Structure formats: structure tokens, C-alpha cells
Amino acid sequence: MAATTPAYRITDLFAERARNIAPPTYSTELTKITTVSFTYGLADPILFPHAHLATASAAVLAEEAPLALNYGPPSAQLYEQIILRLQAKGITTDRDRLIIGYGSGQILGLLPDVFVEPGDVVIVEGPTFLGVVVRFVQAGARIITIPVDELGMDVDALEVTLSDLKKQGIRSRFIYTIPTFHNPTGTTMPLFRRQKLVALAAEYGVLVVEDDAYSDLRFQGEIVPPLATLDKEGWVLYVSTFSKIIAPGIRLGWACGDPAIIERLAMFKSEGPVGPFVSHVVARYCATGKLENHIQELIACYKHKCNLLLEAIAQEFPSDVVAKRPDGGFFVWCKLPSYISAKALLMAASEHGVSFLPGTRCYTNGQGDDAIRLAFSFQPTQNIVEGIATLGAVLRGWRH
């Protein structure tokens, strides 16, 4: 009996879905470590409210340890604080319409479980945040891309697509959009387009997934109401996060929308509710009211970095590279002249220690080699100036 059978292998036991390892979402295309990375939308660590979180942690552990450290749901106060934040944006909600997850990415990643069977149509923006969209692709969704222009998603093109699909008897599952300080383009969709988008959702019976990670970080311009405030019939699922306004490392995001969706997201969030400890700490911090001041500090800092980046670009880049000034968020999108490939540019720039996200990493279909995304959020100001000077030199010396 003790004789082993070498013919057996662990890997034979894997289910079909586990036989092949999916490639990581962000495999680096670079072999070198760059000194100045404009690649990822990381928060600036200098801005983390670590002292306030320490105060909150100490208070939670001194006063709420029995609840915060045992099994159980997230802090009730965290639900209240999120509901208050949503109210301030004009979104009326309650606990039955709200789910808290380990980052908004977790919740967005659960959407395919609820909505997508292989071949189902999901509509995304082009360019878009591929970190989320790759999850729809992995679930077997048929991705249809609607272009983004200066005013965000082209809702007229969306209408044509929805109408065409309807003629084919196809009802898209959902439309994934980042209407405010769009990732990667920085664009903000104006009210008239938002109204049309929500009306189209109702007309065609398609869910709109509004990813609103950045809207608190507005540097300029008027506030535009979230899609969720324009929706009277539950066709919008609103998703947001503490990652950009407190810290990503606490891993807390949320979604609010139709209770039937929330219930199912919770069902597929199979490890159960988010951690009591972290949820109590963040709730306690929010309840002090200090988060609002903190957000003002973030805005001042990121606005400064954005301006610095744009000034450096104006000084250093050839005039046929067109950078778009965002009203907020983490990113500047630059369109390249036709003779420069974003991927080739990345290879060349990385040789000089500078990296960024090529536009090809913002499309599922290989488009985007004509643009790059520069994240100004993470780098110290000095690096921004130096990095853009380096990139400018590479661009100016481009052979064409």
C-alpha cells in the first residue's frame, strides 16, 4: 500500500479552468528598473494620514476590540460614513444597497460572476482601465469598445451599438464607465452626456457600472453629478473606494445600487465580509471629520504635481505630442504623433530610466499605440521634472 505511484501528478487534479495560468494583469514589459515611473496610479506615500490612522487604531483597539477583532460584519459606523459620503454627492442609499469590499477592484472583479456567461456582451470605453476589464475578458465576455473623446464616452456611438445589438437580439450585460477624471484619459463626461447615458441604459435595459475612484480629487472646474444621481430606476451601480483619498493599503472599496445586485455580489464575495479590524479603524478615522481636510490637502498636492507635469511637458515635449489637462485625478494622457509608437517609446525611455503606461495597455484590442498615460500621483516633484526632461529628450531625438 505504501508503494507510491509516480504516474500520478498533482497537476492532473486541476480543473480545466486551472490548467493554464492566466497572465498577470500587469506583466512588466521592461527588463530594467526605471528610476522615474509614471506607470502606475499609486498614491503618494507622503500624503498617507498615518498619524490619524494610528490614533484611530489605538482608539479601536482600546475601546472596540471585542467587536473589531472577532468574527463579524464590517463596522456599522463604516456603513454610516460611506452613506454620508454618498449623500454629499447626491446619492441617497442605505445599508441594503451597499456592499463593502477589499478595494473597489474586488467588487468590479465580482461583476462577471453575477452578470457574465461566456459570450455575453460587456461594453467598455476605449481606452479604459484594463486592470478591471481583463476580469471581464477572463470570464469569457465579448467586449465591445466605445471610443472616448474630449467629453468622455461617445454616447452617440454607444446608442448605435446598443441599437445594432438589439436588432441582433443581443442585450449587453453592462456598460463599464469611468465618467469622472477618466482612467487613462483624465476626461470628465459633461452632464448632457451623462443624462443620455443613463437614459440609454433604461431604454435598452442595460446596467451602467460607474467607477468613481477619483472624483473627490478635483483640481478645477464645476462638480458634475455622478450617473447614480441621474438614475431613477436602478440601472446604475456606483463603485468607489478609499484607496485614493485615504490609502490603498487598507483595501476598502464599496458599491451601491439595486439590492438584488448587492445581495448577489455579497454571495460571490465568498470569503465573507471585509475584515472587522480595518473597517473599524477607517470608520473611526472618517467619523472624526478629519478626512475632509485631508482630501483638501490631497487636492492641493496632486494639483501641484499635475501642473508641474504639464508645465514640464510644455517645455520639454515636441509640440506634436498633445497632452490633455485633466480637471482632477491621477493621470495625464498624451497623444503621440503618427510616427511614434507608444511601445517603442517605452522601450527607448526605459533605457534612460523612465517608464509610463503605453496606450496599448488601455485597450483589449491592440489599439492605443498612439498614446501614453503619465501618472503624476506617485513620483516626488523633483522626479516629475527630471523624468519629463528625459522623456522630452527621447521624444525630440526620435528618428522619423
Cell numbers found for residue 280: 473599524
Told to check if 102 binds a second copy by CB under 8 A, we report yes
# chain residues binding a second copy, by CB under 8 A: 93
State the CB neighbour count (10 A cutoff) for residue 154.
18
Cell numbers found for residue 162: 446598443
Please choose, out of 105-113, 143-151, 287-295, 344-352, the segment that lies near a second copy by the rule CB under 8 A.
105-113
The distance of closest approach from Cβ of residue 15 to a second copy in the complex, given in angstroms and rounded to an integer, is 5
State the CB neighbour count (10 A cutoff) for residue 306.
26
Reference 175, options 149, 152, 192; nearest CA is 152
Told to check if 303 binds a second copy by CB under 8 A, we report no
Please choose, out of 175-183, 220-228, 271-279, 363-371, the segment that lies near a second copy by the rule CB under 8 A.
271-279
Reference 383, options 299, 305, 302, 298; nearest CA is 305
Told to check if 33 binds a second copy by CB under 8 A, we report no
Q: Which of 129, 214, 238, 277 binds a second copy (CB under 8 A)?
A: 277
Cell numbers found for residue 220: 478645477
Using CA atoms, how far apart are residues 60 and 67, in angstroms rounded to an integer?
A: 9
Told to check if 297 binds a second copy by CB under 8 A, we report no
CA distances from 3 to 6, 7, 10, 11 (A): 9, 12, 17, 20
User: 338 to 397, contacts with a second copy by CB under 8 A?
Assistant: none
Told to check if 191 binds a second copy by CB under 8 A, we report no
First to last CA, the chain: 72
The distance of closest approach from Cβ of residue 73 to a second copy in the complex, given in angstroms and rounded to an integer, is 11
Told to check if 8 binds a second copy by CB under 8 A, we report yes
Q: Which of 28, 29, 72, 90 binds a second copy (CB under 8 A)?
A: 72
Reference 187, options 176, 178, 196; nearest CA is 178
- The neighbouring-strand residues paired with 324 are 333
Please choose, out of 145-153, 257-265, 296-304, 358-366, the segment that lies near a second copy by the rule CB under 8 A.
257-265
Told to check if 114 binds a second copy by CB under 8 A, we report yes
- At residue 87, φ and ψ (nearest 5 deg) are -55, -40
User: 148 to 187, contacts with a second copy by CB under 8 A?
Assistant: 159, 171, 173-174
Told to check if 57 binds a second copy by CB under 8 A, we report yes
The distance of closest approach from Cβ of residue 79 to a second copy in the complex, given in angstroms and rounded to an integer, is 16
Reference 256, options 31, 144, 392, 91; nearest CA is 91
Residue 14's Cβ-side half-sphere holds a number of Cα atoms within 13 Å equal to: 10
Please choose, out of 208-216, 275-283, 329-337, 391-399, the segment that lies near a second copy by the rule CB under 8 A.
275-283
Q: Rank residues 129 and 204 by Cβ distance to a second copy and give the closer one.
A: 204
Q: Which of 30, 202, 287, 308 binds a second copy (CB under 8 A)?
A: 202
The distance of closest approach from Cβ of residue 390 to a second copy in the complex, given in angstroms and rounded to an integer, is 24
- The neighbouring-strand residues paired with 333 are 324, 373
Please choose, out of 45-53, 85-93, 313-321, 383-391, the segment that lies near a second copy by the rule CB under 8 A.
45-53
CA distances from 88 to 45, 93, 302, 317, 359 (A): 27, 11, 22, 40, 34
The distance of closest approach from Cβ of residue 320 to a second copy in the complex, given in angstroms and rounded to an integer, is 34
Please choose, out of 29-37, 63-71, 144-152, 313-321, the segment that lies near a second copy by the rule CB under 8 A.
63-71
205 three-class SS: coil
Q: Which of 79, 115, 176, 356 binds a second copy (CB under 8 A)?
A: 115
